[in-house]
Amino acid sequence: MADIGNAALLIALVTAAYVAVIGVIGARRQCPALVTSARNGLMIVAGLMTVAAAALAFAFLTHDFNILYVTENSNRAMPWYYVLAAFWGGQPGSLLFWAWTLTLFAALAVSLNWPSQRELMPYVMAVLMSIEVFFLILLNFVSNPFERLWQTSAGEVMAALFQPLGAIPYLPADGRGLNPLLWDRGMMAHPPLLLMGYMSVSIPYAFAIAALLSGKLDASWLKATRRWTLTAWGLLTLGNLLGSWWAYHVLGWGGYWGWDPVENVALMPWLAASAYLHSVIMQEKRGMLKVWNFALIILTFNLSIFGTFVVRSGVISSVHSFAQSSLGPLFFVFLGAAMLFSLGTLFSRLSLLRDERHLDGMLSRESGFLYNNLLLIGIVAATFLGVIFPILSEAVQNVKITVGPPYYQQVNGPLLLALMTLMGIGPLLPWRRASLPALTRTFRWPLAALVVTLIGLLAGGIRDLSPLLGFSVAAFVLATHLQEFYEGVRARRQATGEPPLAALVNLTTRNRQRYGGYLVHLGLVMVMMGVVASSFFQLSKAFIVSPGQTVTVGRYTLTYENLYVRQEPGKDITFARMFVAKDGRDLGEIQPGKAFYPNFNNQPASEIVIRTTLLEDLYVVLNSWDDDGTATFYVFVNPMVAWLWVGGLTLVLGGLVAWWPFRAAVPARVFHTAPEVLSSEA
């Protein structure tokens, strides 16, 4: 399988390079045969990469420990689904997954758009295969997942792609296995979704560059890539959501987002893609922000490459990233080349990208979109500065200074609050310009919701400015969007006489882009409520107890009974048996624990107990214990964390509604009777 995988990667590299060159030549010479040859070559690359991916998956499932990557990331004790997930558990496999899925998306994008975007296709293929060439260079010559183990005549074990002189294949009896933190359900979904999110931004980016290179600068490239951009945005949304959920229930620190560099680099392309999705509406409806749209998709793509660069190179310290490797300089060169090429291509077309209209007023739907984009890019810029600050400080002062959560909270917090406020204002603003009397009538109920919420919070004893503003703004945004749905349903009922539920469904499905966006906004409101509540009202306590002792945390009482050990496939788990009560009402038994894995005995993984309701989570972690049974626990009471997951799923639902294609109208068949038939019947 290693030989098959290696051969597929090498042939794919040559073929992808051929497509990248011949596609442009075919377009410049207006030679359909060369363009068709490029398309066929792209399909061949997709097939070869599928063969390589299948070869690696087969090697994992058959425990081919002669392959170094299989040995390092799996063992016989792992269940088959974790063995398969080990495919992307390390650097070479994750790069192969990125490159493989890019070819699948590229083949699908080219096939779907071939009839309608013939002028763009050669350049689209060239851009996509140029990206593929870079990853294939890494896979063939720097981080190959098919390196094999060999034993020399002196007994030394070494790794190499091809058999060294005098060496024989070496087959260990078992592998090392995945890192304990990766033995989790999240491993099967979070990494592939996030990698696919990074990768899929390449599709709209390729169309944008193709439009610039070909000079076909109308809005057709936007329409061709709208669903691809929504797909990338949705994958990044799911990747970030599942990453937060994974961190929450695996790492044992009571939180879900720590502003770690790898978390931040996954957030930045999502923010930039969100700005782009808002901005294209301006070009489609008003012929504005053309340069801005190209710049945003270029930024989103380069941030996706930067995210892959940070995670895979290890150049920035993170609990999520791989160790430092030779990939860092290569990624940096590619990132710089991609940015220079993209911006150079954009600047060369600036004279052809004049907006058709300009802002008519500072209070209008157009200005709302513009302010929204400025805030989103401001958050991206602040986050990017925090991520690269350790590199800058090391270069200037030779000391690596890490930027922690307080920086992001103080800088991004006000920007996010302003963004949420604008999210409530923007949908109610009219196009072109707004009058003050009209705005007063439009915003009276949302402002009333804000005031009532603020008064209620003050009456409840809350005096901290941050939660006061956060919850009040959330109420304002919620009210504006509920008002929009209400007005839309009322108008539709008046026009059609439909029942309320049918009117709501039909209203949403007939204007999916608008109301799908509203669902996304409602999801963000839920997320905001969960973040504010859990950030400012969390209770936490660390304590040491002996068997039979009781401790109180907030309204919860926990009684520690004893420890016991249980063996499971591939791991031994030490559990603590505890009983929980809330306000004197028995909630039953919980069993937090620590799991120990072969080859990783110094890296136990927490078996965290989380009892979830819509109002709060009880979060219990067994930290350590002594031979006499005395144990140390961390306990957190996290308010409203469930609303993060509910809000996140609402985000995804809204994106799916906006993405879902319209059913093409079927023309009614009208039958006409011939005149001679009519006369004969008469």
Give tens-digit pLDDT for 604-659: 999 999 999 999 999 999 999 999 999 999 999 999 999 999 999 999 999 999 99
Question: Comparing 113-127, 304-318, 587-601, which segment has the lowest mean pLDDT?
Answer: 304-318
Q: How many Cα neighbours within 13 Å face the side chain of 473?
A: 24
The CA distances from residue 372 to 375, 377, 433, 514, 519, in Å, are 5, 9, 17, 16, 17
**pLDDT (0 to 100) of residue 367:** 83
**pLDDT (0 to 100) of residue 669:** 43
**Which range, 75-79, 254-258, 296-300, is most confident?**
296-300
Indicate the pLDDT class of residue 315, thresholds 50, 70 and 90: low
CB atoms within 10 A of CB 141: 14
**pLDDT (0 to 100) of residue 626:** 94
DSSP H stretches of helix in 398-536: 405-425, 436-459, 465-496, 500-510, 512-536
Indicate the pLDDT class of residue 600, thresholds 50, 70 and 90: confident
Q: Which tens digit of pLDDT belongs to each residue from 383-392?
A: 999 998 888 8
Indicate the pLDDT class of residue 231, thresholds 50, 70 and 90: very high
Question: Comparing 147-156, 395-404, 650-659, 670-679, which segment has the lowest mean pLDDT?
Answer: 670-679
- State the average pLDDT over residues 654-678: 58
Question: Comparing 304-313, 337-346, 528-537, 638-647, which segment has the lowest mean pLDDT?
Answer: 304-313
**pLDDT (0 to 100) of residue 361:** 67
- State the average pLDDT over residues 562-582: 92
Determine what percent of the chain is predicted with pLDDT higher than 90: 73
Distance CA 66, CA 2 (A): 9
| Residues 483-522 as b or e (16 or more Cβ within 10 Å = b) | bbbeebbeebbeeeebeeeebbeebbeeebebbbbbbbbb
Q: Which tens digit of pLDDT belongs to each residue from 162-186?
A: 888 889 999 999 999 988 888 888 8
Q: Match 């930290």 to its residue by tokens.
A: 623
Examine the pLDDT at 243 and tell me if it is beyond 80. yes
Note the pTM of the prediction, 2 decimals. Answer: 0.92
Examine the pLDDT at 681 and tell me if it is beyond 50. no
Please provide the average confidence, as pLDDT, over all residues in the chain: 90
CB atoms within 10 A of CB 411: 18
Contacts 24+ apart (CB under 8 A), 454-463: none
**pLDDT (0 to 100) of residue 56:** 97
Examine the pLDDT at 86 and tell me if it is beyond 90. yes
Report CA dihedral (198, 202, 208, 209) to the nearest 10 degrees.
Answer: 120
Strand partners, 571: 568
**pLDDT (0 to 100) of residue 360:** 67
- State the average pLDDT over residues 654-680: 57
Distance CA 303, CA 202 (A): 11
Q: Is 666 exposed, middle or buried (0-12, 13-18, 19+ CB in 10 A)?
A: exposed
**pLDDT (0 to 100) of residue 319:** 47
Q: Which tens digit of pLDDT belongs to each residue from 453-472?
A: 999 999 999 999 999 999 99
Question: Comparing 238-247, 311-320, 562-571, 620-629, which segment has the lowest mean pLDDT?
Answer: 311-320
**pLDDT (0 to 100) of residue 398:** 78
Examine the pLDDT at 48 and tell me if it is beyond 90. yes
Examine the pLDDT at 322 and tell me if it is beyond 70. no
**pLDDT (0 to 100) of residue 340:** 96
DSSP H stretches of helix in 348-404: 365-397
Domain boundaries, the chain: 1-183, 186-419, 420-535, 539-642
